[in-house]
Amino acid sequence: MSDSIIAFKEWADVCDLLADGSYSMILRKGGIHEGREGFSFKHEKFLLFSTGFHQKETGLVDAASEHLIQSPDSKIHTPVEEGNEVVFKAWAEAEFAVRVRDKALVDQLAPFHCWPQNVVDDRYSYSEKLEADCISVAFVRVFRLAEPWTVPYQRKFGGCRSWLELEGAPSGLLEGMTPVVDDATHAERAQAVRAVLGI
């Protein structure tokens, strides 16, 4: 493996839910630094970068929030900022990713992700410097790293951007990682999502 690796910034709570196998879907509209084309899942494989940037206390469906509260690993996340460290614990591989422009289809995906309806509606319609009335959807297989990778905060970690290229990834970082859901569960979820999207 190269000593550089791609990381995807996502709300810390969403990363926790992906990493414990609760969900296998990521929704994203993008940030102001994504460029004129807007956000896309341009990388198929990436580390999950937990961040509190833009995270809201009401940003999860009730079931997801309750699950996190009851989880033995539940914690208050350390802000990703100067003086702190970033801990990478999970790796994701996108089985498929699409930009969905049909709001009815977006709404039908509700059972498969952790965003409440108001957050979905806001992101779908948001259009400042981005394409309006659409949202990007990725169905991912998540793996738990055998050993977490901790890095000090860097200035480039900040800002409203989704993708980061990290240098100095340790040799063997992805060796020995384990899927957070079994093959049968993953296949069942994938089939259900494909049926909704018609792909």
Give the confidence band of 60 by pLDDT, cuts at 50, 70, 90: low
8 Å CB contact between 89 and 148:
yes
8 Å CB contact between 97 and 137:
yes
First-to-last CA distance in the chain?
Answer: 32
What percent of the chain has a predicted confidence (pLDDT) above 70? Answer: 77
Q: How many CA atoms lie within 13 A of 4 on its CB side?
A: 5
Per-residue pLDDT tens for 88-108?
999 999 999 999 999 999 999
Q: How many CA atoms lie within 13 A of 69 on its CB side?
A: 8
Q: Where are the domains of the chain?
A: 4-197
* C-alpha separations of 127 from 104, 118, 132 in Å: 19, 16, 4
Per-residue pLDDT tens for 137-161?
999 999 999 999 999 888 888 777 7
Beta partners for residue 149, in sequence order: 88
